[in-house]
Homo-oligomer: A and B are copies of this chain.
Amino acid sequence: MNLGNRLKSNKKLTLNDLASLAGVSTSTVSRALSDNPLIKKETRVRIQALAASHNFSINTAASRLRTQKTKVVAVILNLIDHTEQSISDPFLLKIVGDLNQALNSKGYDLLLSNSFMATDNWANYFINSQRADGLIVVGQGKSDEKVQEVAESNVPLVVWGDPKTKSHYPIVGSNNRLGGSIATEHLITGGCKNILFLGDPEHMEMTSRYHGYQDALEAHAISLDSAFTVACDITSSAAYDKISELILSKGLFFDGIVACSDMVALGAMRALKERYIGIPSDVGIVGFDDILMAELSYPSLTTIKQNTQRAAQVMVNKLITQFDGKNSDSSLIDIELVARQSTKHSL
C-alpha cells in the first residue's frame, strides 16, 4: 500500500509514511519524535509538528518488540477469598488509584489483574510474555507461595504487605505494629480497661497490628487475656457476626475494640449500635486504614490512617530501581492516628 492510499483510507500512519511526508528517512523521524539531540532542532520541531497534525502515534507493539520494554506494570490484587466483600474493599481501590497515578507520572501504564483470574504462573503470564515489565502485588494473602515463586524467577517485583515479614523480595507497607500500638494506647489513655483485638491472626499485616496491641498493653502493665483476642475474617460482615455472637454469649465484657481494619470496625460498630451500646461512652473503637466511610459513619470512626499515596510512590520507585538492575529492600510507611468520635479523647 503506497502513501497516497494510506492517507486516503483510514489506515494508521507509520513512521515510514511520516518519513515520506517529511522527505526524510524513517530513522530521522524516529529520532525526531523521541527528541533525540542527534537530529537538528529545526528538523525535530518540524517533524513533531507534522506528527501532531496527523494524529500520529507510535505503534507500541512494534516498539516493545524492538526495545524489549513494555512500559507497563501489572498490578495484581492478591485476594484471599472469593467473597464479594474482599473484592470490593474500598481500601483496595484507594491503593490501585494511587498506584495508577504514581505509575503514570513515571510513564508507565497499569495492567490490572487479580489472583483469581490470572493464570497460575504470574511470571510467565506477565513477564515472559512481555505483557509487563514488572509486578506489583497488593496483599500477601495467607501464604506467600505464589509470590515466592515469582521472586525466585528473578522478576521485578514489589509487594504491598507487612514490611517486617521476612522475605527475599521488597515489601512496602505501613508500620503496622506501631499503628496497632498507637491505636491501643489511644483507647487506654481514653480510659478503656478491657480492650478487644478484632482481626485475623493468620494475616501478616494483621499479626503485626496485633503485636502492637500487645506492646501497648504491656507498656501499661495490662495483662494479656486470650479472651480478648478475637479471631475474625477481615470483612465487615464477619466482624458484625462475631461481635453480635460475643455479646450474646458473654455480655458486654469489654469497653474498647482495636479493629484490624476500618471495614471490620464498621461491622463491629453496627453490631454495637443495634444493641444500643454507646460509642464511645460504653465502648470505644479504633479502626485501621482511614477509608472514606470512616469519616462518614456516625459516630465517625477513629482510625489509623495509612498513607497510600506515598506508599504507591515508594513502590513504583522500588520497581523502577529493579528495572535498572539494582535490587531494593522493604520500606515502612509512616502511619498517623486520626482521632474522631468513636473514641474518648484524653485531655
The verdict on A113 contacting chain B, using a C-beta distance below 8 Å, is yes
Whole-angstrom CA separation of A298 from B275 in the bound complex: 11
Q: A70-B61, A90-B93 are in contact. Are A113 and B100 (CB under 8 A)?
A: yes
Q: A110-B112, A114-B100 are in contact. Are A85 and B292 (CB under 8 A)?
A: yes
Whether the pair B274, A128 counts as a contact (CB closer than 8 A) is no
The verdict on A346 contacting chain B, using a C-beta distance below 8 Å, is no
The verdict on A165 contacting chain B, using a C-beta distance below 8 Å, is no
The verdict on A142 contacting chain B, using a C-beta distance below 8 Å, is no
Residue among A114, A131, A273 with the highest chain B CB neighbour number at 10 A = A131
Contact with B along A87-102 (1 / 0, CB 8 A): 1111011101100110
Interface residues of A in 106-165 (CB under 8 A from B): 109-114, 117, 121, 124-125, 128-131, 154
What's the least CB distance linking A106 to chain B, in Å?
Answer: 11
21 contacts between A and B (CB under 8 A): A55-B124, A56-B128, A57-B129, A61-B61, A61-B70, A61-B130, A88-B90, A88-B97, A93-B96, A100-B113, A100-B114, A109-B111, A109-B131, A110-B111, A110-B113, A111-B112, A112-B112, A237-B296, A240-B296, A266-B296, A270-B297
The verdict on A293 contacting chain B, using a C-beta distance below 8 Å, is yes
What's the least CB distance linking A299 to chain B, in Å?
Answer: 9
